[in-house]
Every structure is written in C-alpha cells, then in structure tokens.
Amino acid sequence: MNERRKPYPFDRLEPKWQAIWDETRAFHAPNPGEDNFDPNKPKFYVLDMFPYPSGAGLHVGHPEGYTATDIIARYKRLNGFNVLHPMGWDAFGLPAEQYAIKTGQHPAVTTRENVAKFKAQLKRIGFSYDWEREINTTDPAYYKWTQWIFLQIYNSWFNPKTKKAEPISTYRGDDPDGVRLAYVAEVPVNWCPELGTVLANEEVIDGKSEVGGYPVVRRPMRQWMLRITAFADRLLDGLEDLDWPKGIKLLQQNWIGKSEGAEIDFKIDRHEGKIRVFTTRPDTLYGGTFLVLAPEHSLVDLIVTEEQWPDVREYREKTARKSDLERAELTKEKTGVFTGACAINPATEQKIPIWIADYVLLGYGTGAIGGVPAHDERDLEFAKKFDLPIVEVVQPLGDQPAFGFVGDGIAINSPIINGLPTAEAKKKITRWLEERGQGKGAINYKLRDWLFSRQRYWGEPFPIVWQVSRHQALTESELPLEPPALEDFKPTGTGEPPLAKAKDWVRYSEAATRETNTMPQWAGSCWYYLRFCDPQNDRRFVGEETERYWMGGANDEARMTNDERMTKPESTGSSSFVIRHSSFQSTPGGVDLYIGGVEHAVLHLLYARFWHKVLFDLGHVSKPEPFQRLVNQGMILGEDNRKMSKRWGNVIDPLDVIEIYGADAFRCYEMFMGPLEQMKPWSMKGVEGVSRFLARVWRLMMTENQAGEWELSAAVQEIEPTKAQQKITHATVKKVTEDIEGLAFNTAISQMMIFVNAFTNTEAIPVSAMRTFLVLLNPFAPHISSELWQQLKNPGAITEQTWPVYDEKLLVEDEIEIVLQVNGKVRDRIKVPLDATNDQLDAAARGNEKVRNAVGSQTVRKVVVVANKLVNVVAA
C-alpha cells in the first residue's frame, strides 16, 4: 500500500493550493471600513456549529456539515457574495477539566494542544474558512464579552407591559433583585457525590452521571438563574418566520410547552387558606372529586391532620429519597397519602378530600391539581387505587362511553355549563369563576428558568461580588475577570466550587468576596456567531456597523439585485432545503445558513435565541433572531452500521482517509454518500469510487509523459463543442446549480460524473467545456479544480471566476421520446418531433402496433396525452 501509485498527485497539489490560499488571503471576508470592502456585494453568512476541541480529534462525522457549508461558501463567493464563513472553538468544558484533575496538566494547555490538532485536521481538508476570524471561548479577549453580556442580562428586567427586556433603571418597584433577568435562587440541582460536583441535566443519564456512571441525587443549592421563562411567548412565536426544519420547531415548541387553561382556588374546610390548582380543563370542574398536592407543597404542613401526620411524613421522606428516574417510573402504580383535610369544590360546593401524591410535580403549574378521574387517565388510575368517587361531566360526540373520555365533548352534570361544547364550556366556567373571585384564565409553560451556574473551574467566572449577602456587578472596566491560577482543580467535595480554594482571588476587598461559581459551557456558544463578525474588536462585543452588515437587513437590497441577476431554479419543488432568494422582504434572522447536529435542537438553539432577544431589546443587535435558516446534518455511522465510537473500534480519522485518497475525494465522498440530513454509514469502497471519479477528471485533461510526469493532454483543444457536448455542459450547469441551492450535493456530484463519463474516450475535448466544468467542480473539489484551471493556462485563479450560467434553449431536443401506455403500462416508445400536436400523438398511439396488440379486442375508452411525455390509451 505504501508504495502504491497515487491515481493523481493530490499529495503534491493539495498542500500547494492550501498554501496559496493562505498567502493570498483568498477567503478573507472584508468588513465594512476595510480597504478592499465592496459595498455593492451582497453579504452571505454561512455558519457551522463550532466544535468542542476534544483530545480525540475530529472524526469523519464533523466535516460532513463543514463540507456542506464550505461548498455553499465557495459557491456564493463565485456568485459575487461577500461570504462570512468562520470557524472557532467552544473550548470551556468538563473533559478538559477532568483531564486536568487526572494529570495535573492545566486545562489551558490541553485546550491549546487540542485546538492545534483540530485546526490542522480542518486545514488539511481545505475548508475556505476566514482563519483571521478564529475565536476561542476560553480566550480572555473573548470571554470578556461573554461576561459583559451577562452583565447586560443582570442589569435588565422583563417589563411585562412592553414585553421586552429593559435596563433595570426603568423598573419602578421596590425589589429590583427580584425581577432581574439574572437572579439567585435556592433550587434543587443534580449533585454527584462521587464526582463532588453538580451536573447539568444533560450530563445526567438515567439517574447516573454521564462521566463515570455514578449516582446523582437532587439537592437544593444557591444558584444563578436566567429568567428565560419571561421570553417563552416570544421564543415560541419567533419560530414562525424562521426557515428551520419542522421537526426542530416542534421540539422547541414542546420544550416550551405552552398550555392554556385556568387557575382555580379551592377553599380549605376548617382552614383559612386556599389551594390554587392549574388545569387546562376548567370545564370538568364539576367532576373534580379530590385534590392532589405535590408532596413538597408548602401547604401540606398547614393542613395535614394530627392522625394523618405520621403517614404523610413517611411518604414525603420516601419521595425525597427517590431519584427523578424512580419517580418518573411509569410502569409503577400510583402512590399517595390522604392528608386528612378537605377542600370545597367551588362548583359543586361539596367537600372533597385533599391527598398528596408524587405524580403531582411541584415544579409545574401550582404544584397542585384537581382530580377529575372520569376524564383524566392519571386521576382515574389514582381514584381507582384509592377508591375515590368518579363523576362523568363530559359526553363524547360519538358513541364512546363518557367514563375515561379525555377528549372534547359536551358538558353534562354541570348545571352552569350543561350542553355546551368543551371550548365554550371552558370560557363560560372561567368567566363564572372570575366573577366570583375564585379563579382566572391562566397560561403555563413547561419551560423552566435556566440554571446558569456550575461548580467548576474551567468556565467563565461571574463578574459578581458579594457584600453582606448581596450581589453586585463588577464594572465593565474590571473585565475580563480571569479565573485564578489553581494547582488543584479537584472538586472540594462539599459542593463549594473549586474557585473557592483561591483565597486571595476570592477576597475582592475588605468587605466583599467574589462569586465562585462559573458559567455553563453554553454561555460561550450563545453569542459566538456575533463575535465572528468582528473578532478583534476590543471596544465592543461586536462593532455596530459590522453587526448591521453581517447580521442585519441593511444589505438586503444589494442581495436582492444580485439575486435577480442570478440564474434562478425554475421550480424548487417540495425540497425542504430551498435557499430563499432573500424572499424579497426582511427576515427576522441574521445568519443566512446554519448547519449543525440535531443534538443542539433545543438547548443551544433556545439559549442563543434567548440571549439574542435580550441583546435585541437593549438595542445591541439589529434583528430579533440569530439564525434564519437551519439545517441538521445526519449522523455518519461506522462501516458496521453502528454509531462511531472508541468502544466499537469503528472510528475513522479524516487524515487517514486523506492520506490515501486526498482531501478532494474525502470532501466529495462526504457529500456523495446520500442526502445531507440523513443518517448513513461510512464506506471506504465508496471513497475509492469517488476518488476514481476525480482521477478520471484529472486524466481527461492530463497525460503522463515518458518521464512519468503529468502534462496537459493533447486532446484538450480550442475547438467548438459539438451540439451534444454543449447540451450536456448546459444540463450539468443547470443540475449542479439547482442541486447546490437545494443542498442536494449527492445528486450534483452524480451529474458531474455523468458529464465526465460523456467526455471519457473523446479524442478532442473542447477547452471551453472543461473551463465551465472546473468552476462547477470547484466548490466540491477545490484543489484539483484549481490545479487543472492553472494547467489549462486560464487567466486568474479559479476562485475569482464567476459561476456559469446555462441557456435553457440549448437543453431542448429536436426530437423527443414519447412513452406509449395502455392502461398505465408501458407498451412502446416512439420518437416524435418536438412540435408534435396532441392530435398527432393521439393518432400515433392508436396506430402503434404494440398498442393495438395490447388493446386487443377491448374498446378504447379514452386517450390521455401529456405533452412531451406520454400517451396513455385507456381500454376496457
């Protein structure tokens, strides 16, 4: 293998062109104000989800999305766009810290090494990133602004009147700390005693830590929270005008989990207070035969009777010991305990028992529910188990039984709303409750506020100090706040963050100490797309004009004009990928195309949208949404059809592939495998096939002389292409253009293969067709196309050319083949002139011998003629 001849000298030419691109700054995107900035060029911002630089390096899954965006970036440049296509490192995070704990090596060192490795891999693939814009979330010059944005959030509140984030100075109440968008609360967290640290929800799998598999328990701790719930409605509504996959929108919708209903107050028998419950079905109030409180509900202590107290206490203790997983165990039976107290159903005025049960969650709604067993599965199960009364109050429209019916129907046994359909019954009973001061319409969300602090070393420190148990923001001039140099990164074991060990650092002044929590890994990735616009700016997180240019609508007009000049696909069909040609109206999102894994469907994308909206409200960014168009690439599996992992030994390193087949073959194979969004297995044989295609491209224009050197083939000549050659060239321009626009790279490559096959074994190859082809190939295989472009002695670099345009007129044939069907089955094919009329086609079909045979003794009932396509003779 080692001495095996390369099918073409990619090992020489790929590094050569990569060096040229670096030297000529070929892919540098100038910002407004830079010397070579051209205000007439429309902008295009195409972004990858930047990676966490792990020690393992990239595997072939990472570059799938990166290759797709690179093709788009190069294509857009050839179409006259100023393209922002950056790359950077999301480098804070647990693995580097864990490694530090094990080896004592500082995370900064590990991070530097890993970044170098990742960058070398990416550069060898030949991506056209503007490396001058490289950023790293662990760089103080970067996280200075992460901390700055945190302070913007900290110094803001959500004004319910304007439904916007506003500076805290506009707040007129008496508890500013109670309304800030960043606040401190005592909340239950995932505490892992073994790791001595708190874990994020996503780091807990089935009640165990993702790292090490140690048990995780819930424990209340003082935490920083971000008030994302205030934006729930805007995060929900904002989805509408984004070009995102439907599934992702749905996931976010479900995550936000908006539900409309009512809050109803139940008086407590022989007690002062009342119990408030949330329900989406106020129309079933008459069927409410019991109340259930979450075991942790604060009212439980007040209402429980003397004799029930031992049972209640035991149940609460048992519940507290359960992990979330055990508690959510669906197969188990319902459990619960009677409190001894009763409430009054405001509709029936009957006394109903109050229970506690762990199927009611403290964190949702009011932590209490009204049990309507006849029309709720869970309540029914509970009522059956504990022998509670069941009253039917909804009559289904069909002939189903009312018992256990959970859908919409007609209210029965409910004097105030009898006979009303569910929707109206809800409205009327809610009004009735409102009039009597016993309830009101209410909306609830599943979305919780964002737990924003971590007890970790390797993250952004909070720019906050504490003085007499009150928090206070640092001033902007004190940023960046760097973490202290620590020898020992180990968790303290008490839940106190490692930063607390740096006593000198913690002591801010005589009276004040620093916050010792750090921010979660999400923080850096919440705004990195903004920093890419202006990565070296040391006065602002992003320059105003620059932000308007790359993230705003100021340039939409230029883009529109440019698009009109461009070849537009005829009809884009049903593909979900169509790049909207600026839609001729302003869109809410700034980044034009964002490609990344579906695993970030909810958290990263929701968090980033939240920060962006705060920045938008405060006037720091120009559009309300960060990402206009989102595409998720599918996972690449190992050759054995299993997920790539060390465990199966099926991980493939891009550099190993490139060593044998070259970067261009690697890129093309990544795209040729199948549709971008689909999950698909890797195949080395497949890479070989694509590599053969590139070798055929090479030999189309190059031959080996006697000395074994490659030189321009004599077959390539300055001649007019034949009609057939012209036709396939234009067909290829059309297909490749449309397929890139639709992100259907696999079929674009197929078409280029068809093109090359058509020219293989041709004695005289017209150089004009080759020129056109090389530009089409360039986004996919930039190295080989650059080299051949130079070998053909074309003026200028291929990266400076303009994308070819096709002529529809050259695609039409003089004679077309028409399919003749009888009853939908193909019987024959005939050639007819292009201008054949329907009558002529009809007659030709009826007269055709094979058609007549197939019709036999049947009568022709009808003849369907589809112009330029087929004739179907219907006989019976």
> Using CB under 7 A, which residues numbered 166 to 225 contact RNA?
none
Give the nearer residue to RNA in terms of CB position, either 59 or 85.
59
Among 298, 305, 757, 838, binds RNA (CB under 7 A): 757
Taking the complex as a whole, how short is the minimal distance between the CB of residue 293 and RNA, in angstroms?
A: 9
Length of the chain: 876
Tell how strand 337-344 and strand 368-371 pair up: unpaired
Q: Greatest CA span in the chain, whole angstroms?
A: 108
DSSP string computed for 305-325: -GGGHHHHHHHHHHHHHS-HH
CA distance 42 to 177: 45
Give the nearer residue to RNA in terms of CB position, either 413 or 747.
747
Taking the complex as a whole, how short is the minimal distance between the CB of residue 614 and RNA, in angstroms?
A: 24
DSSP string computed for 609-668: HHHHHHHHHTTSSSSSEEESBEEEPPPEEPTTSSB--GGGT----HHHHHHHH-HHHHHH
Report the half-sphere exposure of 487 (CA within 13 A, side-chain side): 1
Give the nearer residue to RNA in terms of CB position, either 253 or 722.
253
Tell me the window of 83-91, 244-252, 538-546, 797-805 that interacts with RNA (CB under 7 A).
244-252
Give the nearer residue to RNA in terms of CB position, either 114 or 872.
872
Taking the complex as a whole, how short is the minimal distance between the CB of residue 825 and RNA, in angstroms?
A: 7
Phi, psi for 826 (deg, rounded to 5):
-70, 130
Tell me the window of 56-64, 78-86, 522-530, 865-873 that interacts with RNA (CB under 7 A).
865-873
b/e for 239-251, b at 16 or more Cβ within 10 A? bebbbbbeebbeb
Does the footprint of RNA cover residue 294 (CB under 7 A)?
A: yes
Taking the complex as a whole, how short is the minimal distance between the CB of residue 328 and RNA, in angstroms?
A: 4
Give the nearer residue to RNA in terms of CB position, either 30 or 689.
689
Tell me the window of 620-628, 711-719, 752-760, 840-848 that interacts with RNA (CB under 7 A).
752-760
Among 826, 834, 838, 858, binds RNA (CB under 7 A): 826
Give the nearer residue to RNA in terms of CB position, either 507 or 829.
829
Taking the complex as a whole, how short is the minimal distance between the CB of residue 376 and RNA, in angstroms?
A: 6
Q: Which of residues 693-722 bind RNA (CB under 7 A)?
A: 693, 695-696
Among 683, 717, 838, 840, binds RNA (CB under 7 A): 683
* Number of helices and strands in the chain (H, E): 27, 38
Among 121, 339, 345, 444, binds RNA (CB under 7 A): 444
> Token digits for 245?
């996959």
Tell me the window of 45-53, 154-162, 431-439, 861-869 that interacts with RNA (CB under 7 A).
861-869
Q: Which of residues 351-390 bind RNA (CB under 7 A)?
A: 358-361, 364-365, 367, 369, 376, 378
Taking the complex as a whole, how short is the minimal distance between the CB of residue 852 and RNA, in angstroms?
A: 11
Residue type, 389: P
Does the footprint of RNA cover residue 234 (CB under 7 A)?
A: no
Tell me the window of 26-34, 471-479, 611-619, 847-855 that interacts with RNA (CB under 7 A).
847-855
Q: Which of residues 566-595 bind RNA (CB under 7 A)?
A: 571, 573-574
Give the nearer residue to RNA in terms of CB position, either 32 or 389.
389
Q: How far is CA 604 from the centre of its chain?
A: 8
For residues 666, 669, 670 and 672, what is the CA-based torsion angle, rounded to 10 degrees? 160
Size of the site for RNA (CB under 7 A): 83
Taking the complex as a whole, how short is the minimal distance between the CB of residue 24 and RNA, in angstroms?
A: 33
3-class SS at 822?
strand
Interaction pattern, residues 661-680, with RNA; x per rule: CB under 7 A: -----------xxxx--xxx
Interaction pattern, residues 626-665, with RNA; x per rule: CB under 7 A: ----------------------------------------
Give the nearer residue to RNA in terms of CB position, either 436 or 861.
861
Give the nearer residue to RNA in terms of CB position, either 457 or 682.
682
Give the nearer residue to RNA in terms of CB position, either 384 or 507.
384
* H or E element in which residue 149 lies: helix 140-154
CA distance 574 to 252: 24
Taking the complex as a whole, how short is the minimal distance between the CB of residue 276 and RNA, in angstroms?
A: 11
CA distances from 352 to 14, 338, 372 (A): 79, 11, 11
Tell me the window of 186-194, 227-235, 533-541, 867-875 that interacts with RNA (CB under 7 A).
867-875
Among 753, 767, 811, 830, binds RNA (CB under 7 A): 753
Taking the complex as a whole, how short is the minimal distance between the CB of residue 58 and RNA, in angstroms?
A: 21
Among 198, 690, 694, 774, binds RNA (CB under 7 A): 690
Give the nearer residue to RNA in terms of CB position, either 424 or 688.
688
Residue 318 near residue 336, CB atoms below 8 Å: no
Taking the complex as a whole, how short is the minimal distance between the CB of residue 72 and RNA, in angstroms?
A: 18
Looking up tokens 């903004």 gives 530
CA distance 795 to 771: 11
Residue 44 near residue 650, CB atoms below 8 Å: no
- Name the DSSP letter for residue 444: E
Taking the complex as a whole, how short is the minimal distance between the CB of residue 453 and RNA, in angstroms?
A: 21
Query: Which residue, among 53, 92, 33, 46, has the nearest Cα to 73 in the 3D structure?
Result: 46
Does the footprint of RNA cover residue 727 (CB under 7 A)?
A: no
Interaction pattern, residues 729-748, with RNA; x per rule: CB under 7 A: ---------------x-xx-
Taking the complex as a whole, how short is the minimal distance between the CB of residue 337 and RNA, in angstroms?
A: 14
Query: Which residue, among 100, 205, 220, 223, has the nearest Cα to 491 in the 3D structure?
Result: 100
Q: Which of residues 245-284 bind RNA (CB under 7 A)?
A: 246-247, 250-251, 254, 257, 259, 261, 278-281
Taking the complex as a whole, how short is the minimal distance between the CB of residue 752 and RNA, in angstroms?
A: 8
Residue 179 near residue 158, CB atoms below 8 Å: yes
Q: Which of residues 802-821 bind RNA (CB under 7 A)?
A: 817, 819, 821
The angle formed by the CA atoms of residues 859, 865 and 867, to the nearest 5 degrees, is: 165
Q: Which of residues 310-349 bind RNA (CB under 7 A)?
A: 327-330, 332, 334
Does the footprint of RNA cover residue 874 (CB under 7 A)?
A: yes
CA distance 449 to 230: 9
Does the footprint of RNA cover residue 598 (CB under 7 A)?
A: yes
Taking the complex as a whole, how short is the minimal distance between the CB of residue 253 and RNA, in angstroms?
A: 9
Taking the complex as a whole, how short is the minimal distance between the CB of residue 573 and RNA, in angstroms?
A: 4
Burial of 632 (0-12, 13-18, 19+ CB in 10 A): buried
Does the footprint of RNA cover residue 475 (CB under 7 A)?
A: no
Q: Which of residues 65-124 bind RNA (CB under 7 A)?
A: none
Does the footprint of RNA cover residue 749 (CB under 7 A)?
A: yes
Query: Which residue, among 778, 769, 751, 644, has the nearest Cα to 715 in the 3D structure?
Result: 769
b/e for 55-94, b at 16 or more Cβ within 10 A? eebbbbbbbbbbbbbbbbbbbbbbbbbbbbbbbbbbbbbb
Looking up tokens 């001595």 gives 196
Helices 663-672 + 654-661 axis angle, to 10: 110
Give the nearer residue to RNA in terms of CB position, either 761 or 859.
761
Give the other-Cβ count within 10 Å of 471's Cβ.
Answer: 18
Does the footprint of RNA cover residue 446 (CB under 7 A)?
A: yes
- Report, in angstroms and rounded to the nearest whole number, the Rg of the chain calculated over CA atoms: 34
